[in-house]
Structure 1
């Protein structure tokens, strides 16, 4: 009985999270989820030195002050824990990060420092305490033609020797640096900048979190986020954006023709202000506006219906692709007519039109968290960053691949990077795990610490190999502009998480000699390269090989590529287990077998 009680206490401790309030030189942590144990502490622990602040949680709150942090005399990362004392036992648990705690900041003017919250790689709450020479706030934000005009001011602690001011915007593939006009006003620096909408297509519709920095010639003095309190916002005059802004009070669907007046080359902006008052904005074009209008109409249809259908959430590969077991489970539910009883939600950031008219969201959408909470069923296929905090939610992890190499906690390593990449599917995280075979069933249990229910019925995605696919294959080749007279080689190498020191970045090399293949096979074959989804942009193809090598690493459904190809070249990827259903040749190219197997335990 005592062991069961302690186990339940451990589970409750794991579910605790806090909302953070900025109050002068203090952060107030309010317990929002979990049981307020009679003796519990909030612990700020420096990641490298182990120095810590421990504050008792009283009346469901604890206060961390800058003065206490200064006494530790340490800059860097602080991880946040909760410590609970029950039945002569001590339970210590990292606090989970929640969206409301994004970018919380306190400026320590006395010591020229800043304390800022952040999300760790494993979705836990951490803080960075670092020197900072100034703070910045926006005073005006407006759209003019295809530009954003941003004005603001910088407050410095002391006189700073600088000669330029720049806005920094992180795009998907690069940083954008925008020079500012500026002038001194006492100790304040007033600035204004023009942000051009002509950015990379892949960044349209994404949220941007601009920073500002001061420089002296080529030397960066410091940079910081831009606050947006009391900002003057020019009225957006685009009719379709007015509809979207007022959507929460609307009882009618949005006329989709409202966006048709926007020329394809034009852009518009939407200003968002984070819960922490930081400046955030989006750049949208006609395509994104139409997508937004369509989805808002779909949301309105669901939430205004008298049928009150239950919601089912689907996601494949972090929402990058409409793919995986999630896709095939979804399409089977449509085929069986379950859309009469359920409304479906897809987390998807791609461009495909998903059949069945589901509600579309993605991890960067404003409505993602709310929709996820409203869904009674979750169907995902890789590690999912949000733990269900409601016992009424049923979560099926449909997985992918056959784990014939070591995974998760079965990988023997001293690398902190790789240890931190491990997935744990312990108590309460899942209701069901789908596996492809008896071997996978046992490995997943061991590698991911899973002891829940397992559905060992094979992968739905592989059913297609037992259907007639001639017309489908012809259509896929036509869509991809692959000549009818060419045979197809599919190259699908494994993800190489090689063991390097924590100071180094991981290095991925394409071991296949594309030039040699081009010289010897290009008259008869084309080669489709399909890298791991985490390495979409790592392949560079020389101009003379572009008709031979086709990079389809960002193609949604790899099963389509299995169907159209004539042979698979792989190494340690479990793709060959799925491809074996096609009964077509498989070649294993493994020049680094000794080093790789020594690490991953083949």
Structure 2
């Protein structure tokens, strides 16, 4: 039933409007009769699918920060029975208990949304939205059929540059006053990694030091995503390379099911994507925000998107990747393999680092800036 409702809300504007008006009113009334806890913080990451990302970084920082010693924490998960978070309670995403917790909480922290498309935030609640990435694909109300994004009640919105600022204002209905120019907390770690960290992570992943690791991270799209011709990749790249495949959490099925080899490592469930970025020597993706995380490390990136033309037409992009992205868009696996084998690594690294820097202009100390801003608003 939940999946059918979610589909209807996404694809039928009149269902969106009816759902928002009716449910928002009901939750606002419910909120009038629900107590408020000045020391309760509600967290969610990736709509409840993960204990990860910027919300996790902020949560772990809060536990160590004496300024938050009087607070208690609740994490929302789609499957709370599978999650244990030290120092926090868990609640099922979109359940009655979830919405009751949201109505009672003084602070909301998420990288997608807390209100689930509704409008029931109390004025005294402080709402921090870190968002989950900077990327080329259209989002928010720019997506066909979506007119339900309204982040006008977000108090703090993490912003890493003018590109994301303009998109959030225009297509998510965020406010200029909410923008905190700081990047995202989960990216702070990327700035702090050392060479010894890289060697340790590669050792954990069983990647020999002489082997070049190619990280393949295709983004989500509707329908099943076809995997690469892994046998051809192994034949052409040989023993001096390995392929790390990280499927999007919505599209894991089928990407690796037909291949088994030491050359290919399935890292879809690896808990920390930042460590994968550090371990990798190259990133291959398509329309993913991974480009603007990995790009902070200034290493080669390749845009491989065989469905680029249809994706651009049917879903839409904010960027013209064919003209803007380093080396453009590759639609053939052989062309990607030729680039990897023949590239000047130093030149490609510099080119990709400069490309990322053109979009991400604020990228350091986001965690402390977020915590400081939250406490500033709490005191008000």
TM over 0.5: yes
Q: How does 1:121-132 map to 2 (within 5 A)?
A: none
List aligned pairs for 1:95-134, cutoff 5 A: 95-96=22-23
Match in the other structure for 1:393: 125
Which whole-Å CA distance do the structure 1 matches of 2:234 and 2:174 have between them?
A: 45
Partner of 1:533 in structure 2?
249
Q: CA deviation at 1:394?
A: 1.6
How far is the alpha carbon of 1:398 from its aligned partner? 0.9
Partner of 2:268: 553
Q: C-alpha displacement at 1:380, in angstroms?
A: 0.5
Structure 2 contact 217–246 (Cα < 8 Å) conserved: yes
Contiguous gaps of at least 5 residues in structure 2: 1-7, 9-13, 28-36, 320-380
Q: How does 1:158-307 map to 2 (within 5 A)?
A: none
The CA distance in 1 between the partners of 2:24 and 2:200, in whole Å, is: 45
SS in 2 for 1:360: strand
Tell me the alpha carbon deviations over residues 249-305 of structure 1, each in whole angstroms, 9 at most, x when there is no partner.
xxxxxxxxxxxxxxxxxxxxxxxxxxxxxxxxxxxxxxxxxxxxxxxxxxxxxxxxx
**CA distance in structure 2 between the aligned counterparts of 1:450 and 1:476, rounded to whole angstroms:** 38
Is this contact kept in 2: 1:312–1:378, CA < 8 A?
yes
Measured in 2, the distance between the counterparts of 1:484 and 1:383 equals 41
Q: Distance in 2 between matches of 1:536 and 1:475?
A: 27
Q: Tell me the distance in 1 between the aligned counterparts of 2:189 and 2:16.
A: 47
2:278 is paired with a residue whose SS is helix
Residues 360/489 of structure 1: CA separation in 2 closer, same or farther (3 Å cut): same
Distance 1:565 1:81, change over 3 A: closer
Structure 2: distance between partners of 1:426 and 1:456: 17
1: CA distance between counterparts of 2:49 and 2:94? 12
- The alpha carbon displacement at 1:344 in A equals 2.2
Query: Which of the pair has more CA radius of gyration?
Result: 1
Q: Distance in 2 between matches of 1:431 and 1:516?
A: 50
1:448 maps to 2:180: no
Contact 1:379–1:395 (CA under 8 A) maintained in structure 2: yes
In structure 1, C-alpha distance between the alignment counterparts of 2:91 and 2:213, rounded to whole Å: 35
What does the per-residue CA deviation read over 1:496-531, in whole Å, with 9 as the maximum and x for residues that have no partner? 3xxxxxxxxx42333633231122235222222222
- Displacement of 1:443 in angstroms is 0.9
Distance of aligned partners of 1:333 and 1:426 in 2 relative to their CA distance in 1, 3 Å threshold: closer
Does the CA-based 8 Å contact 1:325-1:461 persist in structure 2? yes
SS of the residue 1:369 aligns to: helix
**Higher strand share goes to which structure?**
1
Change (3 A) 1:371 1:483: farther
RMSD: 3.4
Structure 1 position 520 matched with structure 2 position 236: yes
| Matching of residues 472-491 of structure 1 within 5 Å | 472-483=197-208, 486-491=211-216
2:103 maps to which of 360, 363, 373: 373
State whether residues 567 and 585 of structure 1, in contact with CA within 8 Å, keep that contact through their aligned partners in structure 2.
Answer: yes
Instruction: Provide the residue aligned with 2:190 in structure 1.
Output: 465
**2:284 corresponds to which of 564, 569, 577:** 569
Distance in 2 between residues matched to 1:475 and 1:529, nearest whole Å? 19
Per-residue deviation at 1:424? 0.7
Tell me, in whole angstroms, the C-alpha distance in 2 between the residues paired with 1:334 and 1:403. Answer: 31
Q: 1:81 to 1:508 in 2, by over 3 A?
A: closer
Asked if residue 404 in structure 1 is aligned to residue 167 in structure 2, the reply is no
Report deviation, 1:338. 3.4
Structure-2 residue corresponding to 1:493: 218
Can you list the C-alpha shifts for 1:132-184, whole angstroms capped at 9, x where unaligned?
Answer: xxxxxxxxxxxxxxxxxxxxxxxxxxxxxxxxxxxxxxxxxxxxxxxxxxxxx
Measure the CA separation in 1 of the matches of 2:124 and 2:149.
21
Question: Kindly tell me: are residues 522 and 365 of structure 1, through their superposed partners in 2, closer, same or farther at Cα, counting changes over 3 Å?
Answer: farther
* CA distance 1:371–1:480, shift in 2 (3 Å): farther
Aligned length: 291
CA contact (8 A) 1:315 1:380 kept: yes
After TM superposition, give the deviation of residue 408 of structure 1 in Å: 2.6
* 2-structure distance, mates of 1:81, 1:99: 14
Over 3 Å counting, the alpha-carbon distance change for 1:562 and 1:388 in structure 2 is farther
Unaligned runs of 5+ in 1: 1-46, 48-77, 83-91, 101-307, 414-418, 497-505
SS of the residue corresponding to residue 250 of structure 2 reads helix
SS in structure 2 of the partner of residue 327 of structure 1: helix
Change (3 A) 1:387 1:513: farther
SS at match of 1:587: strand
Mark the CA change 1:81 to 1:513 in structure 2 (over 3 Å): closer, same or farther.
Answer: closer
Asked if 1:580 is matched to 2:295, the reply is: yes
SS at match of 1:344: strand
Write the distance in 1 (CA, Å) between the matches of 2:132 and 2:264: 26
SS in 1 for 2:102: helix
In the TM superposition, residue 580 of structure 1 has moved relative to its aligned partner by: 1.1
TM-score when scaled to structure 2? 0.66
**1:405 deviation in Å?**
3.5
Structure with greater helix share of residues: 2
Greater relative CO (CA pairs within 8 A, separation 6+): 2
**Shift of residue 475 of structure 1?**
4.5
Alignment partner for residue 65 of structure 2, among 332, 336, 342?
A: 336
For residue 314 of structure 1, what is the aligned residue in structure 2? 43
